[in-house]
Amino acid sequence: MNLTKPIQQNIFSKKGFINVTTAGYFLCWVIFLGLGWESAQATEKTREDPPPEFAHEAPRLRSIMEHGWAAEKGIGQAANSALAASLYCEAARFSSAEAHYRAGLVYASASIVETATAAAFFKFAMELGHEQVHMALNALYLSAGPQKSIVPSCLTDDEEQSGVARRMAIPVKFPLFNFQGYLAAMPEGKRAVAALLVKHAPLFGVNTQLALAIASVESNFEVLATSPKNAKGVMQLIPATASRFGVKNSYDAEDNIRGGLAYLRWLGEYFHGDLSRVIAAYNAGEGAVNKYNGIPPYPETIAYVKRVLTLSRMRDTGANTMLP
């Protein structure tokens, strides 16, 4: 398996060992993360951590919001308010009061100043019971006057999503988030988790970019992450999947990562390297993918596939694109 070829052509390997080329690829990742660790030491004490309210969200929503925070504050990349607003709005689609609140703050900021949109987000956050939004909405009214309530287009645009489901291919439409820069700027504990993925992914014949993207979307490298559906750990394994792939402790990062990678390798073989189906099945299960003969028409799964492809910078062009 030659991992130096374009990633969309070599995602899975049927061989369970590292050859010279793979070892070189692994070394490049180690050097990258190592340089990230050194450069991040200078900003470790000054980096503005995500608000503690993010920790109350389900792992996948928390991941989206932490990426939004990184885009807003310029963590590992240039600050990008438009991208931050887009990410917060993506989380808001799943009825997160905090995501609505954060989107409203960005839209009300000097870098965007769309007060009607900000007011709509704030009102949604209020309806969902957010405790701090009253002050933000009052401040907006004081500075800009009463605002007409307009539902943000990012909360209502389902046409693209349904089209994506029909095509069973997700276009990488917003490749703006600097994922590699973000990885290098993460706190030390999360960088250590990323290093485990870089270490083990080639051993399981799984592309490193894909493994890192899925881990980030699932838990954003949180070892103790637990979802409302009892998915656990870095790779968010439900108990049945953990047992199926021999995971003894889902809160042990290395054990969990091995289980998640083993599942990805199995999915790659089962779907003959079809990237979109593999990613969709990791989210919704292979049964759902078989039922719909492709990406299931679930908003969460459609968004999930899009996010993984965006972060990994992969593009799926149809069946068998993952075969060597």
Q: Which residues contact 54 (CB under 8 A, 6 or more apart)?
A: 62, 65, 66, 69, 98
Catalytic residue among 44, 218, 269, 286: 218
Q: Where are the alpha helices (DSSP H) in 93-144?
A: 97-108, 115-127, 133-144
The structure tokens listed for 9 are 């052509």
What phi and psi, each to the nearest 5 degrees, are found at residue 226? -135, 125
218 as an active site residue: the answer is yes
Q: What is the DSSP letter of 49?
A: P
The structure tokens listed for 232 are 């656990």
Query: Residue 76: helix, strand or coil by DSSP?
Result: coil
Q: What is the CA radius of gyration of the chain?
A: 20
Distances (CA, A) of 97 to 22, 93, 214: 44, 10, 25
**Phi/psi class of residue 208: alpha, beta or left (left: φ > 0; alpha: ψ in -120 to 50)?**
alpha
Other Cβ atoms within 10 Å of 37 Cβ, number:
16
Q: Which positions are annotated as active-site residues?
A: 218
